[in-house]
Chain A
Amino acid sequence: MDTATLPQNVSASQPDAITGYRTFRLGSFEFSRDAYFATIRWPVKGTLHSHQMHADDFLRAMMRDIAWGFFYGWVNFDEVLGTRNHYGKVDLYAGSFNASYKDAGVDYLEQFETPVIMATFKAIMQDWVNEGFDPFAAPEETGTAFGVKHGDNLAAIDRTRIATKRMPGLDGDSPLRDDFPINRQFVDVAQDEPEIHAEPGFEKELHAFNLFKYLSRSDVTWNPSVTSVCKESLFCPTTEEFVLPVFHGNDRVEWFLQMSDEIVWDVGDKNTGEPRARVTMRAGDIAAMPADIRHKGYSQKRSMLLVWENATPNLPKRYESGELSPYPVQF
């Protein structure tokens, strides 16, 4: 990437003489990387504070934030750094949802127009993801993120959430995945399709597909993608392996239904990060993630997870005002 190819609104240095990576500025934040680490700096009371993440963890987290369009609510890259989606604007913060930083007053938050922060994040990925590293893949499936700059992997970082209007495979809707290979950890998943016996004239109205086959061919991990739409109720299944690269704090309740294998969820307080629970989910288990927590999943084997979202637009305000309980059912 030469300077001429940088999008407008993206502030980047020339490549560093030793590491080959550019340093980026977004508002008062500065992002730099070296062979091992991403370093983030922000101003507090006239001095700069800093935070480091392993480059691979940072790039996996940023990949999800970009692909999801900043998703719902808070996307914590780790216990310090993260974004909050306001659907048109996005907060970038350091320490704002960490009890120690907050108490010490060394946290910092700045709000950006979505296209501006998105352009910068994409430019960072284009520059910092090297040839052979796929930040959307599980560690066993891809090469290393470390070292000085060597090449790029633009194809790998260009994938996004699948947008589905009604159901994949319908005319004019998102496609099925027959052209994708079966993931190495799902080779035992049945690939038979449902039998559709439509009476003449109804061939286009009856619709079914093999969801587990579809998931077995997912080429990315931890990327909820829509497969059925009942008004604002969205089924967003995904295949999971290793760890969810972010600690997601939602601005609404969401639900998980484990469709295969097992995931363990670390659950913490949304505002302070303090641990609340560890939830072990096996095939058939369904559980709510309340609106006042953050969660991070661990999946030893690649597993199938149904993430269920309510996309009604006014929910964050209703939860924040206390009109809605953070817990979806009382009993």
Chain B
Amino acid sequence: MQQTVFGSLDSFRKGSIEIIQGKAENYAFSNVFEVASLAPPYQKTVVGKNLKFVVESLRAEGDSPWFAAAHDEFTVVMDGEVTVHFIKPATPGSLAPADSEGTVKLDGQPEGQSMGYVKLRRGHQALLPAGIAYQFRSVKPGVVLVQTILGPNSVEKWAEICLH
């Protein structure tokens, strides 16, 4: 049987575009491992954008800031081993304004009750529930995707990351 090929920070083979008509830029083509390999830890680099919605690629290395959002977010580990720790704030809705969208970066560890943690390896997906603070921790470099909405901490650098 043919081996199933996954990518990693150390081993990825970026694809390509053969243009017949039009421009390569129209496809906003990047590779999440390449993006994460060139970014500082936990920079929320936007690799997919559909109006206000985004997919971000993050290099997981060490402890991230504490994050929260007013809506559900999701993460998928693409490489490495990442734990996500969760804190329920003492006052519900206190971490991100109710009508806000995108990820809020919190100032240090928030007040509240520890909900526990999940330990994720490649291919594992976790819910980052609305209104809950979360922190990524990773001993070795890894890559996580975040499904969320464009926010003040989302970094767009398309010209640097995309084929053109």
| A327 proximity list for chain B (CB < 8 A) | 25-26, 28
Interface residue? B137 (CB, 8 A): no
Choice from A193, A227, A282 contacting B15 with Cβ under 8 Å: A282
How far is it, in angstroms, between the C-alpha of A269 and the C-alpha of B21 when the chains are bound?
A: 9
A163 interface contact, C-beta 8 A: no
Q: Do A198 and B27 have beta carbons less than 8 Å apart?
A: no
Known: A197-B117, A310-B50, A328-B49. A230 touches B149 (CB 8 A): yes
In-complex Cβ contact of A194 among B1, B6, B119 (8 A): B119
Shortest A211–chain B CB gap in Å is 4
Give the contact stretch, choosing among A58-66, A145-153, A154-162, A257-265: A257-265
**Neighbouring B residues of A283 by C-beta, 8 Å:** 5-7, 12-13, 33
| Chain B residues within 8 Å of A290, by CB | 26-27
> Which residues of chain B from 18 to 43 have a CB within 8 Å of any chain A CB?
18-22, 24-34
| Selected interface stretch from B60-68, B70-78, B89-97 | B70-78
User: Would A188 and B114 count as touching, CB distance under 8 A?
Assistant: no
B126 touches A186 (CB 8 A): no
B133 within 8 A of A: no
Interface string of B145-157 (1 = CB under 8 A from A): 1011100000010
Separation of A184 and B15 alpha carbons in the complex (Å):
26
Question: What is the CA–CA distance of A227 and B120 in the complex, to the nearest angstrom?
Answer: 17
A206 with B116: CB separation less than 8 A: yes
Residues of chain A with a CB closer than 8 A to B32's CB: 257, 284-286
Q: Is B139 an interface residue (CB 8 A)?
A: no
CB pair B149 A233 closer than 8 Å? yes
Smallest beta-carbon distance A230→chain B, Å: 5
B154: min CB distance to chain A, Å: 12
Within 8 A of B (CB), among A218-258: 227-233, 235, 252-255, 257-258
Which listed residue (A207, A227, A269, A286) contacts B29, Cβ 8 A? A286
**A44 CB within 8 Å of chain B:** no
- Give the complex CA separation of A331 and B74 in angstroms: 27
B127 touches A287 (CB 8 A): no
Chain B residues with Cβ below 8 Å from A287 are 17, 27-30
Q: Which residues of B contact A301 (CB under 8 A)?
A: 2, 4
Taking CB atoms, residues of chain B closer than 8 Å to A278 are: 17-18, 20
- Of chain B, the residue at the smallest CB distance from A278 is B18
The CA of A310 and the CA of B50, in the complex, are separated in Å by 7
A289 to B42, CA, bound (A): 27
B35 CB to nearest A CB, Å: 9
- Let me know if B124 is at the binding interface, CB within 8 A: yes
Complex Cα distance A284/B33, Å?
A: 6
A322 CB to nearest chain B CB (Å): 15
- B115 cross-chain contacts in A, Cβ below 8 A: 198-199, 202, 205-206
Is A275 a contact of B124 with CB atoms below 8 Å?
Answer: no
With an 8 A cutoff between CB atoms, is B58 at the interface? no
Chain A residues positioned under 8 Å from B13 (CB to CB): 282-283
Complexed CA–CA distance, A186 and B2 (Å): 9
Does A210 lie within 8 Å of B147, measured CB to CB?
no
B17, B53, B86: the one contacting A279 at CB < 8 Å is B17
Q: How far is A281 from B76 in the complex, measured between Cα atoms in Å?
A: 19
Interface: B47 (CB within 8 A): yes
Q: Evaluate whether A195 and B119 lie within 8 angstroms (CB atoms) in the complex, with A232-B53, A288-B26 already known.
A: yes
Which A residues form the contact surface with B (CB < 8 A)? Answer: 166-167, 170, 184-190, 192-199, 202, 205-213, 227-233, 235, 252-255, 257-262, 269, 274-290, 301, 308-310, 312, 324, 326-329, 331
Task: Report 10 cross-chain contacts, Cβ distance below 8 Å, ordered by A residue.
Answer: A197-B117, A199-B116, A207-B127, A231-B53, A254-B50, A277-B27, A283-B12, A288-B28, A310-B51, A326-B26
Interface residues in chain B, defined as those with a beta carbon under 8 Å from any beta carbon in chain A: 1-7, 12-22, 24-34, 47-51, 53, 55, 71-74, 76, 78, 86, 88, 113-127, 129, 132, 145, 147-149, 156, 158-159, 162, 164
Given contacts A166-B72, A284-B33, A286-B48, 20 further A-B contacts (CB under 8 A): A187-B1, A190-B121, A190-B123, A208-B120, A208-B124, A213-B123, A231-B149, A255-B48, A258-B15, A259-B123, A261-B5, A276-B22, A280-B16, A281-B15, A282-B12, A283-B5, A287-B17, A287-B30, A289-B27, A326-B26
